[in-house]
Amino acid sequence: MIALEPWLRARRDEGRKLLVPYVMGGMSEDWVESLQAVVAAGADAVEVGIPFSDPMMDGPVIQRAGVHALDRGATPARVVDDIASAELAIPVAVMTYYNIVFRMGHRRMARSLRAAGIGAAIVPDLPLEELDPWAAEADAAEVATVLLVAPSTPQARVARICARSRGFVYAVARMGVTGERESLGSDSADVVRRIRQVTDTPVCVGVGVSTPAQARTACAVADGVVVGSALVRRLLEGGGPDAAAELVGQLRAAIDEM
């Protein structure tokens, strides 16, 4: 297993901007190949969705991918096994909702991630106040729990979230759900600045980062970007590993030029 935070810190400290693409686990027959293509095209880490029936933080594109995955019989255990079988050379974070973690059990979930070589988890509907029972097991299994900061988060809370976030801090670019937008949220630079005031952990911007130009704008202040819906849409349209690699390559080139 590759631990997420040291890996990202090392790359950032070399002056590299971080690219973290998102793929929904189990969304298509060839999703593991797509994941591998994303890695080969220049991702620094990947985020893999474990589908949930009620993904409240996600917009229509990722919702649809989740429905596809569930219709294809995806389960948390199967997605985790598939990730392990992909033998990726970069760190992996799973993104799912708390009920999936709760049903599996904190310890079992943390250990199964660890056993599969998955070094991080993002659980956006698990608030800071309720985090400890999961985080204790995740820490024990050396699974980093990435926390999110929103534009509406008061500064005192930003400090508490950043103190507890592992791997990186996920800066939510705008108030709203995941999905492609015409422009990068105007709040994103402010969120990143407020996170920087209280932590040295890498900061990646997500939610509505869809184009190479938006990725570059976000990376002007942040250490990196998370790109989900734009990539998942290409996979839903049947583009497969080639389309995934093409977009990731474009994003890579855009932020490498900086």
**How many positions of this chain bind other proteins (CB under 8 A)?**
24
Which H helix or E strand runs over 9?
A: helix 4-13
* 175 touching other proteins, by CB under 8 A: yes
Q: Which of 5, 44, 58, 180 is catalytic?
A: 58
Contact with other proteins (CB under 8 A) among 98, 111, 164, 250:
98
Contact with other proteins (CB under 8 A) among 6, 85, 108, 152:
152
| Residues 73, 75, 77, 79, Cα dihedral to 10° | 80
Residues 124-143 that bind other proteins (CB under 8 A): 125
Beta bridge partners of 170: 148, 204
Q: How many CB atoms lie within 10 A of CB 154?
A: 9
Strands (E), the chain: 18-24, 46-49, 92-95, 120-122, 144-149, 169-172, 203-206, 224-227
Contact with other proteins (CB under 8 A) among 32, 39, 41, 100:
100
* 102 touching other proteins, by CB under 8 A: yes
* 111 touching other proteins, by CB under 8 A: no
Q: Which of 47, 137, 180, 223 is catalytic?
A: 47
Beta bridge partners of 205: 171, 225
Contact with other proteins (CB under 8 A) among 99, 159, 236, 246:
99
| Residues 133, 137, 139, 142, Cα dihedral to 10° | -160
Residues 33-62 that bind other proteins (CB under 8 A): 52-54, 56-57, 59
Catalytic annotation present for 58: yes
Smallest gap from residue 3 Cβ to other proteins (A)? 27
SS3 24: strand
**Contact region with other proteins (CB under 8 A), list: 23-31, 95-103, 156-164, 247-255:** 95-103
Angle between helices 31-40 and 240-256 (to 10 degrees): 20
Give me the active site residues, please: 47, 58
Give the footprint of other proteins on this chain (CB under 8 A).
Answer: 52-54, 56-57, 59, 63, 67, 70, 75-77, 98-100, 102-104, 125, 152, 174-177
